[in-house]
Amino acid sequence: METTDITIPNKKADINKQSFPVTGMTCGACASSVESILGHTDGVKNASVNFASSSVLVEYDATLVPEDLQKALQAVGYDLIVDAEDPAEAQENLQKQHYQDVKQRTIWSAILTLPVFIIGMFYMEWIPGRWISMLFSIPILFWFGRSFYSNAWKQAKHGKANMDTLVALSTGIAFVFSVFNTFFPDFWHDRSIHPHVYYEAATVIITFISLGKLLEERAKSNTSSAIKKLMGLQPKTLKVIQNGEEVEMPISSVQKGYTIVVRPGEKIPVDGEVSEGSSFVDESMITGEPVPVEKSKGAEVFAGTVNQKGSFQFIAKKVGGETLLSQIIKMVQQAQGSKAPVQKLVDKIARVFVPVVITIAIVTFITWIMIGGDDALTHALLTSVAVLVIACPCALGLATPTAIMVGIGKGAENNILIKDAESLELGHQTNAIVLDKTGTITKSKPTVTDWHWEKADTYYQQVLLAIESQSEHPLADAVVARLKKDGLKPENIQDFQSITGMGAEAQSLDDEKFYIGNQRLLEIKNIPVSSSQQNQSSKWSNEGKTVIFFANQSSVLAILAIADEIKESSASAIKTLQDRGIDVYMLTGDNEQTAKAVAKQVGIDHFKAEVMPYDKADFVKELQAQGKVVAMVGDGINDSHALAQADVSIAMGKGSDIAMDVAKMTLITSDLRAIPKALKLSKLTVQGIRQNLFWAFIYNIIGIPIAAGVLFAFNGFLLDPMIAGAAMAFSSVSVVANSLRLKAAKL
């Protein structure tokens, strides 16, 4: 029997996974359309749109080329950026251009709307005013507001409707009806009806909604800044040892196994292992801890971290997308993209509301044509237009943004900067809060918290000051600051030497030797530690403090405890949150002992120590999987992934720029007591939105049937479209007034 070798294709190798910038998306419904179109394209396995970053992650067969995907979207009015050298830069330029375009359109729309509004409200019977209003309205609707009509058409082609649909229909019909009444007023005069125009209603709606779009675009334009800053942490060039000489090369050319040189103050370009030299490296972007980590031969170093005072060489182990920094960037992008674009509440309502209103208007027209008698056409036109005018989305459109705007303003008054509406809406649902330790619960500045001197001798304190002033150890600065606080000046010393991993030694001018460092240093130098000193050291260590010893050749002169102090407000803020039934967790890259001590002091029962950035994000995911709405509070680069993953993200104002960019809220004062205030503000804002929507709906529920003419059978009353326009304006005013009540609320 003949055997045939069967090659099983590698499915993974045949599938490309790539992210593309998308242009032409203006709303959540657009994002859904792009996702749906690409998802149904032959050869595409999956498509996931991130509306915030205007990008789509596509898994597709290797037989397809990006141009095929591009053509599929171009056919329905969207586009993919596939041929640019730097797609991200091209997208950024397009976003900036689009934002400026929306800004210009909104400004000009507002300028032209003002005279139309004045004429419509105060000079409605002035005949020349109608012609002036029409001339001003044309560019407002069909140039500056053209996106509403184009988007409505896109939705209609796919059998969908959103707020743009209702805006386009209501403003378009109001305009056409007004133009007819401007050119042919006698049509109504012959029927003893006064012809009104509604240019101001159409233009005001366009301007209001355009302003909302502008604010939305502004928020979107800032979403990628965190990624850009993370990418900026990696240097563009590095120095490599080749043939015994230093050679500078671009980071894109570096390969595994290269020997790389890092000097004081430089960023480490790729992940690797120290091969020669030693230094202290600031790894706060990974661990969040403020104290630099000592690096000597065999120690791991990571891209994006900053070398402090020493120079060293290391062997490149991970380059390009393999580095920890690249992984952090990737994880932040995925976390941001994993959240499906949240449809605005109004858009969700519009899915039902728009078809219902259109149906009512059509039914109204047909009904009056059938039963209207001699004035059938007149009554049919007036009532159907009145239905569309009274159902104009101004009140609905203002319900959410006015409450949000007042809420954001109220937050700013209380030192809470809120970047988007989503977090403000979600905040009141939060039932779990994850806190970073360093810089969030603590001050992120090591200080000498305790010390015990065996002999209160100023001379010894001056010697200690002199030694620590020359030391490169990061904790030395805390000792120097404490001693200088007492007005001490350094004593003259000589023969200063740093002892790697243990401390330092020096000699006075009269040849007395002094040592400063950990207990291991004392053991090596055979300096005895008394039982009382040992007990004191153990006590401070159990409190999560770093203990250092100062000694001469024969005995311990002083014991010092150094720690990152807890903020005065932390304990009370955490208790307030717990009293509201919110679970509070603490995550830190610090050791277990320190984490336990800090958690105990502030009253936190649940904590995790020695966690990496991805561990924090995974922990947030675990809580979300349990059905919890999670708020993450952090201040460092290491928190950025978890902040992006959380439902509500809060950054400390004194933290890193990247954390503040990723987070949707920022506490200006870094006072944790602002968190309960932010969550209460969210609750009040959401209540305001619900009240606004209730009144907007009540108005429509009552107004639409009257506009349709249900009262005509009882008392012969037909609602004039002008009155319908006034009612629409009143509903808007009532919504705004209700939102403004939030300003007086106490947080």
Q: DSSP for 115-135, please give it.
A: HHHHHHHH-TT-HHHHHHHHH
**How are beta strands 312-318 and 259-262 bridged, if at all?**
antiparallel
Residue 436 falls in the annotated catalytic set: yes
Residues 6+ positions from 237 with CB-CB distance below 8 Å: 248, 249, 250, 251
Q: Output the furthest CA–CA distance in the chain (Å, rounded).
A: 121
Residues 6+ positions from 604 with CB-CB distance below 8 Å: 435, 574, 584, 585, 586
Contact 140, 206 (CB under 8 A): yes
Of 637, 620, 661, 740, which is closest to residue 420 (Cα–Cα)? 661
What is the spatial distance between Cα 585 and Cα 307, in angstroms, rounded to a whole number?
A: 32
* Residue 188 identity: W
Q: Is 262 helix (H, G, I), strand (E, B) or coil?
A: strand
Structure tokens at 499: 């002892």
CA 362 from chain centre, in angstroms, equals 44
Q: DSSP for 53-84, please give it.
A: TTEEEEEEETTS-HHHHHHHHHTTT-EE--S-
Q: What are the C-alpha distances in Å from 266 to residues 239, 284, 294, 302?
A: 11, 15, 15, 12
Of 546, 518, 617, which is closest to residue 289 (Cα–Cα)? 546
**Which of 271, 282, 436, 564 is labelled catalytic?**
436
Q: Is 107 exposed, middle or buried (0-12, 13-18, 19+ CB in 10 A)?
A: middle
* Residue 146 identity: R
List, in sequence order, every residue forming a beta bridge with 173; answer none if it has no partner: none
What is the spatial distance between Cα 96 and Cα 150, in angstroms, rounded to a whole number?
A: 21
Q: What are the φ and ψ backbone dihedral angles of 603, each rounded to 5 degrees?
A: 85, 30
Rg (CA), the chain: 34
Structure tokens at 48: 């996931």
Answer left, alpha or beta for residue 504, where phi above 0 means left and psi between -120 and 50 means alpha: beta
Q: What are the φ and ψ backbone dihedral angles of 75, each rounded to 5 degrees?
A: -65, -25
Of 142, 134, 146, which is closest to residue 200 (Cα–Cα)? 134
* Residue 649 identity: S
What is the spatial distance between Cα 489 and Cα 4, in angstroms, rounded to a whole number?
A: 87
Q: Active-site residues: which are they?
A: 436
